[in-house]
Homo-oligomer: A and B are copies of this chain.
Amino acid sequence: MSIQDLIAPINERLTPTERRIAELVLKDPTLLAFGTVSDLADRANTSRPSIVRFATKLGFEGYTDLQSWIREQLSVQLSSPSQRIRQQESSTPPVWAAIEEAIHQSFDALTQERLIALATPIAQARNVWILSGETSMAGAYVLHSGLSMIRPDVRLVVEHSTGRELSSASEGDTAVVFDFARYRRNSITTSRALAELDVNIVAITDGPLSPLAALTKNWCELKIPAVGPFDSSIPSVMAAEMLVAQVVNQLGEEARHRIDRLESMWQATDTFLNYTPRPSREI
């Protein structure tokens, strides 16, 4: 039971001021443990009674009650073995390490030059086709979703309609293919066919021995860790996101203009619950 679990069930009943207080104490719980009512009031730009009311709204008698509760929680956290475990880095579960390593390697693989090399054919293509194997579906999905927001004529090709969809592909187009061992037969054969048609191939795959790496010089290598019995999609997704960001850079004003139009479309259709302009937009 944490302060988060206490706030969550009542978060919709919080007044604006109380919400400010909630954000404050969530950001820095030590404020609650050590701070006085006045401290919190000052930090949240409000008055002391509002702090007390916040405490009662959480179900406590008053601030004192809330604070002593927090202190108890903190005491067990300080004395419990998990805290000591937390400080030792050696005991992290192996999955964590595998994911982190994979991410690091992907970062290393996606240098600035490599990103530019991969993004350029995407930015300049007339049509962009996206293909993928199994592990990498999520990456393909993210790429499709992201690219669609910044340029026209982007299509995610699903296996059962490969032929129909790709019949119009030709020189000047670019196909982005995600696939890793074991390679999906369909994605590989399709890529080969597209390469024959002089379609630019951009391949996200697992190394120079991949059949995809043979098709193009625009490829990059990702390491795929396992999470439980399945392979992780995280590296693919990361690569897709970085590709999208790079294409945005290269398209410049045109991409930004499209994003702005999408934004106003969202506003017009009232898509989001609490619309507040933010520097970072959603995919």
Max chain B C-beta neighbours (<10 A), residue from A6, A7, A232: A232
Q: Give the complex CA separation of A74 and B71 in angstroms.
A: 12
Judging by beta carbons under 8 Å apart, are B273 and A245 in contact? no
In the complex, 10 of the A-B residue pairs with CB atoms within 8 angstroms, ordered by the A residue number, are A4-B207, A8-B214, A9-B213, A19-B209, A26-B207, A74-B78, A92-B107, A185-B273, A227-B242, A233-B237
Q: List the 10 shortest-distance A-B pairs measured between CB atoms, nearest first.
A: A228-B245, A8-B213, A226-B280, A182-B272, A8-B208, A7-B208, A134-B282, A183-B273, A230-B283, A227-B241
A82 closest partner in B (C-beta): B111
Which residue of the partner chain, among B146, B245, B256, B274, contacts A181 with CB atoms under 8 Å? B274
- Which size bracket describes the interface of A in this complex? 35 or more
Q: Assembly of this chain: how many copies?
A: 2
A4 to B223 alpha-carbon distance, docked (Å):
14
A169 at the interface (CB under 8 A from B): no
B22 near A274 with CB under 8 A, answer no
Chain A residues 220 to 240 lying within 8 A of chain B, measured CB to CB, are: 221, 226-234, 237-238
A204 and B211 CA atoms in complex are apart in Å by 37
Docked CA distance A89–B134 (Å): 34
Q: How far is the CB of A98 from chain B (nearest CB, A)?
A: 10
Contact with A271, one of B8, B10, B74, B184 (Cβ below 8 angstroms): B184
When chains A and B are docked, how far (Å) is the Cα of A276 from the Cα of B207? 17
